[in-house]
Amino acid sequence: LAQAYPHLEVMGFDIDERMINYANTQAHASGLENASFRVMDARKPLDYVADSFDLVNARWISVIGTNAWPGTIREMVRIARPGGVIRITESEDFGLTSSPAFEQLSQLFIRAIKQGGIAFSPSGRTGGQTPRLARFLRDAGCRHVQQKAFVIDWSAGTDAHEEMFQDHRALLKLIQP
């Protein structure tokens, strides 16, 4: 966002200091002066003033756990200005690819988050959070809730492959104990 909209101030946070260090390093390497990142836990009250943001953007936060979703959404609503946008990008699994090894890894990941109390899915086949997002948003007072499904095929040879590969490579490195 900071690259696409250099006239706007972009703030980000993550619970993992390694992720914040990575984001700050990337922003610095790209010469972005309109982006700042800090450590914060989305499951707790956010250290932002109410009605502060035109856009509250959350990506891949399903690891907050099933019990944390309603409170996290309420905090997003609190910090969004009236008429602002809350955009949540979430995945039911690790994505689509033609790689058998990655399909196995994705299945292991889904089983692990199910066992860890992070997935809503009764069967553990998917994360199960996306069907609940609209209700969570409405319960927190949002109006005009929209949902859009997207499929990103990042198999070898596709346009999305390299970027998604690098994203997952960074993710897997960052989640190591």
Domain limits of the chain?
94-128+151-177
| 72-103 pLDDT, tens digit each | 999 999 999 999 999 999 887 777 778 888 88
Nearest alpha-carbon partner for 19 in 154, 176, 160: 176
pLDDT at 177 over 80: no
Give the confidence band of 18 by pLDDT, cuts at 50, 70, 90. Answer: confident
Q: Which of 30-39, 114-123, 153-162 has the lowest mean pLDDT?
A: 114-123
Helix (H) or strand (E) holding 55: strand 53-59
Within 8 A by CB and 6+ apart from 13, the residues are 20, 37, 38, 39, 40, 42, 46
Token output for 111: 């089983």
Q: What percentage of the chain carries pLDDT values higher than 70?
A: 97
Cα–Cα dist 54/81, whole Å: 6
Rounded to an integer, the average pLDDT of 101-111 is 83
- The whole-chain average pLDDT of the chain stands at 89
First to last CA, the chain: 30
Are residues 45 and 74 in contact, defined by beta-carbon separation less than 8 angstroms?
no
pLDDT at 172 over 80: no
Q: What is the CA radius of gyration of the chain?
A: 17
Token output for 68: 């944390």
